[in-house]
Amino acid sequence: LNHHRGNYRQASQHVIAILRKFTNLIEQVSIDEAFVDVSLLEKTREETGRLIQAAVNENTKLPCSLGIASNKLTAKIANDYGKKRYKGMHYPNAVTVVPPGRERVFLAPLPLPYLWGVGEKTAAKLAGHGIKTIGDLAEIPLVQLSEWLGANATWLYKAAHGIDDRPVVAEEPQAKSISNETTFDHDTSDAWLLETTIESIAKGLARRLAEERLRATVIKIKIRWSDFTTLTKQTTITVTDEYSVLAQIGKILLHSVWNGSQPVRLIGLGVSGIVKRSEQLALWDEEVGKNQSLAEALFEIEERFGKAAIRFGTYRERDENDPSS
């Protein structure tokens, strides 16, 4: 794929849509990974896996690797193992199957970092006790592990034995859009009031997105003039949940439709194109993504509306007694 997050997002949504043709029991955990429960389907797990892989390859031209097992932990590790094993000159298209009851046997020879929860510090600590593989870890009594690792010990003990009771949690239907609006007591042409109202609404939208672990790809403004005529304008941007992006683009949209003097009765701001925020972003570093998202969004706005659309300012308290403020 072209290295642009919008392309990654669109490809991810396309793949999830393909998976939904097989089952709705899908738990997406990152932009390029998902757990799929196929236990209720008539075909064997491996047959279903091959069909899914073929459907993704055919419809997206993207590589697709799968790990197939009786639980999420083992399936994830099987997928990671398969990708590393079969990756050569081309992107992997591995299907790695771990039959039920063979989880511990499959995991035993693998290095510790394959396990969730084993980072560099934990691996180094366990290596100090002569533990280098998942099989080595499985031989250590839970009491001993608890002395070494504390609260993390129980999970790692079960994981080393291939035990994971967590179900595939299908995502609930998401809101198609989120918005809010303010009707003024009197029609206003006050740019400061309009902009601070947008900022206030943007803050509420960002809070709602954060609480529900959502992100949006469309930002829309709604304006009702003094004659009750209503106008809306929207733009599509790189996925975001950030207040700064929502507020800045909301103000850009305002000034793209408002002449600076026309009285406004109502102003609203909303988001749509909503997607679930990934637990991890496997295709790019999340911190870098946060730092770049506003710049990318503004670049996209500049392309649509021109450089003059982007204005930066600083907040100041308004002095009601100073007509120039």
List, by residue number, the catalytic residues. Answer: 33
DSSP state of 282: T
Rounded CA-CA distance 301/307 in Å is 8
State the helix-helix crossing angle for 5-19 and 45-60, rounded to 10 degrees.
140
DSSP for 234-257, written as a single string: EEEEEEE--HHHHHHHHHHHHHHH
CB 67 within 8 A of CB 34: no
Farthest CA pair distance, the chain: 78
CA dihedral 313, 315, 316, 318 (to 10 degrees): 100
Is residue 239 within 8 A of residue 277, CB to CB? The reply is no
Q: Which of 304, 311, 198 is nearest to 250 (CA)?
A: 198
